[in-house]
Amino acid sequence: MNQDQHHPAPPGGKYVLSFAFTATTRAYYRLWLVNMVLTIVTLGIYSAWAKVRTQKYLLGHTTLDGGRFDYHGKPIAILKGRLIMLLALAAWTFSESLPLLHAAIALLAIAAAPWLGVQALRFRLANTSWNQMRFHFSGSSADSYKAFAKSWALLILSLGLAWPWATQIKQRFITGHSTLGQARLQLQPCTGALYRAALGTALAAVCYLLGTGMIGGMIWQAATLSGLAHGIAVQFGEAALTQLDIVFFAMTSALWVMATLAYARMAISRVLINHTTLQLAALEACLVWSLPTRQMLGLHFSNMLALLLSLGLAWPWIRIRTLRLQLQPLSLRSSSDLSALPLYTPDNRLDDARGDELAELMALDLGW
């Protein structure tokens, strides 16, 4: 597998270790269907197994330098986490009629966020492996509180303008405490690039708005001209048509927001990943993600179109093609072959998914 002839050293003495993604849409569709059906039949209990199987499938088909990634989360642990998440959600929903309690819960959630983030990252990384070597998150809660507090304070004091800087502080803490064996990941300063990514996102939002408006208008025109709209009006009444129009408009706007957010996430990840390095003794490696902006723009726009036209059923196809496009141009440029490294990982198994599920509920952005 990790033999030298697979990746000849290019000029400059750098090895290019590439990522590959071999999952197929067909298999993923099937997995998605079975997961969905079993989750319904078991009234949601199977959703924990579904998550593990999905992660195992997607990570198992991701390789770096020929070595597979893998997921090791235990369904029972995830189920326990989901139960606690459910309780938290119920408390949140029920307290809506009691403003004081509602505010108290919100405050508690904010106060716990940095700690939850650490718990979630520990679980996620300890249960992800490459070549059966587990990743590890070594950040402490105290450091997490420091990083989050700095990041939030900056965000509030600058009225959001220092967002890239704040993101960098938070992400430096997260990346800097992620390890594979004794190799430590590190995020290099990238505030300027993050500002450019934010600017690019604003431009992308305008592009998407024009595109969505055009295509939405075309569909609307087509429905009017083909007599479909008239048929609906005759069959179900004018009001039904009006409401259908409103729903159509709401859906297209929602999709526009979704495409813009997806673009933003990818643009930010691209900056962060391209500034991530791996360091161990003599080894210097950096991640390179050479994804052209044009491709990113096209990807999210076509994803949005597919979702709209398929009424959401194209989701598994979109997930696979997005991952494929993301992983194909990703590589690790290293000064030496990884297999020759004295990478040694201490045993770290972790089976407590409570923090992970709660962090997911709060949509905590942890960048992994």
Partner 1 sequence: MVTIKALWRDGKTPQVQVANVGRSGDELLLLRDGVQYRYRLADLRLEAGVADLPDTLQLPDGGTLEIADRIAIRRLIGGLSWGDRSGHWLQQSWRALAGLALLAIAVLWLGYRHLLPLAAGALAPLVPVAVEQTLADSTLQWLDQSGATGPSRHGEARRAQLQQQLQTLLPGSRYRYRLLLRDTAAIGPNAFALPGGTIIVTDQLLALIRHDDELLAILAHEAGHIEARHGLRSALQSSGLLLALSLITGDASSVLLVLPVSLANADYSREHEREADRFAYARLREHGLSPCLLGQALVRIETDIAHRHGDAAVSDGSWFASHPATAERSRPDGVRCPPLPD
Residue with smaller CB distance to partner 1, 35 or 186: 35
Q: How far is the CB of 217 from partner 1 (least distance, A)?
A: 20
SS3 for the chain, per residue? CCCHHHCCCCCCCCEEEEEEECCCHHHHHHHHHHHHHHHHHCCCCCHHHHHHHHHHHHHHCEEECCEEEEECCCHHHHHHHHHHHHHHHHHHHHHHHCHHHHHHHHHHHHHHHHHHHHHHHHHHHHCEEECCEEEEECCCHHHHHHHHHHHHHHHHHCCCCCHHHHHHHHHHHHHHCEEECCEEEEECCCHHHHHHHHHHHHHHHHHHHHHHHHHHHHHHHHHHHCCHHHHHHHHHCHHHHHHHHHHHHHHHHHHHHHHHHHHHHHHHHHHHHHCEEEEECCEEEEEEECCCHHHHHHHHHHHHHHHHHHCCCCHHHHHHHHHHHHHCCEEEEECCCHHHCCCCCCCCCCCCCHHHHHHHHCCCCCCC
Q: Does 214 bind partner 1 (CB under 8 A)?
A: no
Q: Does 341 bind partner 1 (CB under 8 A)?
A: yes
Q: How far is the CB of 160 from partner 1 (least distance, A)?
A: 23
Q: How far is the CB of 357 from partner 1 (least distance, A)?
A: 12
Q: Does 238 bind partner 1 (CB under 8 A)?
A: yes
State which of residues 206, 218, 250, 281 lies at the interface with partner 1 (CB under 8 A). 250
Q: How far is the CB of 190 from partner 1 (least distance, A)?
A: 27
- Each as own residue / partner, the long-range contacts of residues 106-111 (CB below 8 Å, 24 or more positions apart, any chain) are 109/362
State which of residues 62, 67, 121, 353 lies at the interface with partner 1 (CB under 8 A). 67
Q: How far is the CB of 250 from partner 1 (least distance, A)?
A: 6
Q: How far is the CB of 94 from partner 1 (least distance, A)?
A: 8
Q: Does 216 bind partner 1 (CB under 8 A)?
A: no
State which of residues 76, 210, 236, 281 lies at the interface with partner 1 (CB under 8 A). 236
Q: Does 258 bind partner 1 (CB under 8 A)?
A: yes
Within 8 A by CB and 6+ apart from 330, the residues are 18, 19, 273, 287, 288, 289
Q: Does 242 bind partner 1 (CB under 8 A)?
A: yes
Instruction: Give me the 145-184 binding string for partner 1, x by CB under 8 A, dash otherwise.
Output: ------------------------------------x---
The piece of 37-45, 114-122, 154-162, 214-222 that touches partner 1 (CB under 8 A) is 37-45
Residue with smaller CB distance to partner 1, 146 or 265: 265
Residue with smaller CB distance to partner 1, 247 or 281: 247
* Alpha-carbon torsion, ordered 74, 342, 287, 353, to 10 deg: 20
Residue with smaller CB distance to partner 1, 67 or 114: 67
Q: How far is the CB of 312 from partner 1 (least distance, A)?
A: 4
Report the site for partner 1 in 4-23 (rule: CB under 8 A). none
Which tokens is 300 given? 């999210």
State the residue for tokens 């939850």.
116
The piece of 31-39, 171-179, 188-196, 282-290 that touches partner 1 (CB under 8 A) is 31-39
Q: Does 36 bind partner 1 (CB under 8 A)?
A: yes
Which tokens is 71 given? 């997921």
Q: Does 47 bind partner 1 (CB under 8 A)?
A: yes
Instruction: Give me the 283-312 binding string for partner 1, x by CB under 8 A, dash otherwise.
Output: ------------------------x---xx
Q: Does 228 bind partner 1 (CB under 8 A)?
A: no
Longest Cα separation, the chain:
76
Report the site for partner 1 in 76-135 (rule: CB under 8 A). 86, 89, 93-94, 96-99, 130-134
Residue with smaller CB distance to partner 1, 159 or 363: 363
Query: Which sign, positive or negative, has the C-alpha torsion 349, 20, 308, 256?
Result: positive
Residues 12, 33: Cα–Cα separation, whole Å? 48
Q: How far is the CB of 9 from partner 1 (least distance, A)?
A: 18
Q: Does 331 bind partner 1 (CB under 8 A)?
A: no
